[in-house]
Chain A
Amino acid sequence: MLESVLVANRGEIARRVIATARRLGVRSVAVYSEADSGLPYVADANAAVLIGPAQPAASYLNGPAVLAAAQQTGARAIHPGYGFLAENAEFAASVVAAGLTWVGPAPDSIARMGDKINARNLMEQAGVPVSAGTREPVADLEAALAAADQIGYPVMIKASAGGGGIGMSAAADQAQLTAGFETARSRAERFFGSPAILLERFVPRARHVEVQILGLTGGRVLALGERDCSVQRRHQKVAEETPSPGVSPALRTRMLAAAVTAGEAVGYRGAGTVEFLVDVEAGDFVFLEMNTRLQVEHPVTELVTGIDLVEQQFLIAAGEDISFAADGVTPAGHAIELRIYAEDSKRFLPSPGTIMTWTEPTGPGVRVDAGYQAGNTVTPFYDPLLAKLCVHGADRAQALARARSAVEAFEITGLKTNLEFHADLLASDEFSSGDYDTSVVGRLRP
């Protein structure tokens, strides 16, 4: 097992990783910006280092400052969480070059999957189903219009280096593509440092379903079930569940096998996620992208499998065996995660502010991964995730019932949250029935 780990992240995920480190007797080091000194994760760690001002570029994205913090505290490994430096192959390589253990896949795996066009071409070669789309970045509007004619409308415009739904939009015709193309390019440049754009066939009724994989020390790749992430606003996930109510046993078998193939194609080590788009009408799926890190919504997989995914990440990073029998995983029951954001429940506009009171729900099957507590200030510098409310039940009906009670019991005052939206989602016929798709939020908030 690792001796020590520095968590190069903030908020709920830093706290989550530190909790497993503490349970396993691994010394933990937190890093924080000037805006985050009062957050719970800073106090939870065995040591904490201030790495810079609030702006992410000067702190959590500042690789040299993170490495200096590791040196200063003698941390022997770095866990990147998600976002920030997690999928930065150059940073991962610099961690390895500094003689430290990188808790994640090889820098080369990150680089090969980080570019969406490259990843899709690689997956196609490996025999994983991919959508119709461009095989190289579209240079300009003229090329985009020509490519769209070949693919057929509607098309999805995406940043090749992108993530988090930023810079993505659908275009139903030439006029919409013309309008959306430049916007997508400027956002891609600004958020991801590359204006490369790709086009893909847009699936009107789709579910977003991903598979958790784990690449073991010996080279074997396991698939630990799927997560349905179709509840999205602005192409960003708001709620997730496992198993997916929209995936049949036969489809599940094929998707899990495709995810294993995807992982094997890049020699994947550690925890990763293969994202697929499920065409509801056709009952089929295509590869979307691979996330080479721990996923925000990993707790639902943990709840139904009983596996601590962060512990497995630590073990694999240390070159050791996983803590469970690779062939003995049988998911049990149903789990739902609700992302509690600092945003209003109607228009989903950001709502920074100071948390006056914070009362978490408790009870059977309830797990709360929180990044904040009463008295903390939520600043505009980072994403709006306050906490992940997760519930586990024997079946979907019980999980839904527990989720409804937990949302009602969760009390946060001082700023606006989307708790009311979650109450509406859980009360809706569409979500309750399980027969929903990626447009469900738009129908609840027209």
Chain B
Amino acid sequence: MSEVRAEMVANVWKVVAAEGDAVADGDTLVILESMKMEIPVLAEDSGTLSTLAVAEGDVVQEGDLIAVID
């Protein structure tokens, strides 16, 4: 299992993946936006996206859980 967490305070601009998706290492899961910059959040492992903890428009804090890959 691998957890994907936010590296910084940001707004969730786009959710690209959905719970249940099969994802590969390096796939884009969501795109965050902070300080007028888009920051793609990537899968760090291959597997099934069992949890997607954010929705478009959410604000995430540094360290917040974004997704879990099993």
Q: Are B11 and A350 in contact (CB under 8 A)?
A: no
Return B65 CB to nearest CB of chain A, in Å: 18
Q: Are A382 and B35 in contact (CB under 8 A)?
A: yes
Give the residues in chain B near A352, CB-CB below 8 Å. Answer: 8-10, 34-35
Q: Cβ of A245 < 8 Å from any Cβ of B?
A: no
Of chain A, the residue at the smallest CB distance from B36 is A383
How many residues of B are in contact with the other chain, CB < 8 A?
12
Give complex CA distance A164, B38 in Å. Answer: 14
Give complex CA distance A382, B7 in Å. Answer: 18
Q: Cβ of A342 < 8 Å from any Cβ of B?
A: yes
Give the residues in chain B near A164, CB-CB below 8 Å. Answer: 36
Most-contacted residue by chain A among B34, B35, B37, B39 (CB, 10 A)? B35
Give the residues in chain B near A350, CB-CB below 8 Å. Answer: 8, 10, 34-35, 37, 39
Task: For chain A, residues 362 to 385, give those with C-beta under 8 angstroms from any C-beta of chain B.
Answer: 379-384
Q: Are A351 and B36 in contact (CB under 8 A)?
A: no
Q: Cβ of A343 < 8 Å from any Cβ of B?
A: yes
Task: For chain B, residues 33 to 50, give those with C-beta under 8 angstroms from any C-beta of chain A.
Answer: 33-37, 39
* Chain B interface SS verdict (over half): strand
* Chain A interface SS verdict (over half): loop
Give the residues in chain B near A234, CB-CB below 8 Å. Answer: 37
Return A78 CB to nearest CB of chain B, in Å: 23
Give complex CA distance A28, B9 in Å. Answer: 33
Give the residues in chain A near B33, CB-CB below 8 Å. Answer: 380
Return B63 CB to nearest CB of chain A, in Å: 12
Give complex CA distance A166, B35 in Å. Answer: 13
Of chain A, the residue at the smallest CB distance from B10 is A380
Return B41 CB to nearest CB of chain A, in Å: 12
Give complex CA distance A164, B37 in Å. Answer: 11
Return B58 CB to nearest CB of chain A, in Å: 12
Chain A positions 381 through 425: 1 when the CB is less than 8 Å from some CB of chain B, otherwise 0: 111100000000000000000000000000000000000000000
Q: Are A349 and B39 in contact (CB under 8 A)?
A: yes
Give complex CA distance A91, B34 in Å. Answer: 26
Give the residues in chain B near A382, CB-CB below 8 Å. Answer: 35-36
Give the residues in chain A near B10, CB-CB below 8 Å. Answer: 350, 352, 380
Chain B positions 2 through 13: 1 when the CB is less than 8 Å from some CB of chain A, otherwise 0: 000001111100
Q: Are A342 and B35 in contact (CB under 8 A)?
A: yes
Task: For chain A, residues 189 to 221, give those with C-beta under 8 angstroms from any C-beta of chain B.
Answer: none
Give the residues in chain B near A380, CB-CB below 8 Å. Answer: 8-11, 33-35, 59
Give the residues in chain A near B36, CB-CB below 8 Å. Answer: 164, 166, 382-384
Q: Are A349 and B8 in contact (CB under 8 A)?
A: yes
Of chain B, the residue at the smallest CB distance from A385 is B35
Of chain B, the residue at the smallest CB distance from A164 is B36
Give complex CA distance A342, B39 in Å. Answer: 15
Q: Cβ of A180 < 8 Å from any Cβ of B?
A: no
Give complex CA distance A382, B11 in Å. Answer: 11
Give the residues in chain B near A353, CB-CB below 8 Å. Answer: 9
Of chain B, the residue at the smallest CB distance from A341 is B35
Q: Are B7 and A379 in contact (CB under 8 A)?
A: no
Return B50 CB to nearest CB of chain A, in Å: 27
Give the residues in chain A near B7, CB-CB below 8 Å. Answer: 349
Give the residues in chain B near A384, CB-CB below 8 Å. Answer: 35-37
Return A193 CB to nearest CB of chain B, in Å: 15
Return A163 CB to nearest CB of chain B, in Å: 11
Give the residues in chain A near B34, CB-CB below 8 Å. Answer: 350, 352, 380
Return B69 CB to nearest CB of chain A, in Å: 22
Task: For chain A, residues 326 to 373, give those with C-beta under 8 angstroms from any C-beta of chain B.
Answer: 342-343, 349-353
Of chain A, the residue at the smallest CB distance from B38 is A187
Could you list 30 A-B pairs, sorted by A, with CB under 8 Å?
A166-B36, A234-B37, A342-B35, A343-B35, A349-B7, A349-B8, A349-B37, A350-B8, A350-B10, A350-B34, A350-B35, A350-B37, A350-B39, A351-B8, A352-B8, A352-B9, A352-B10, A352-B34, A353-B9, A379-B9, A380-B10, A380-B11, A380-B33, A380-B35, A381-B11, A382-B35, A383-B35, A383-B36, A384-B35, A384-B36
Q: 9 smallest A-B Cβ distances: which pairs?
A: A350-B35, A380-B34, A350-B34, A384-B35, A352-B9, A380-B9, A383-B36, A380-B10, A350-B37
Apart from A352-B34, A384-B36, list 6 A-B contacts with CB within 8 A.
A234-B37, A343-B35, A349-B8, A379-B9, A380-B33, A382-B36
- Which residues in A have some Cβ–Cβ distance to B below 8 Å? 164, 166, 234, 342-343, 349-353, 379-384
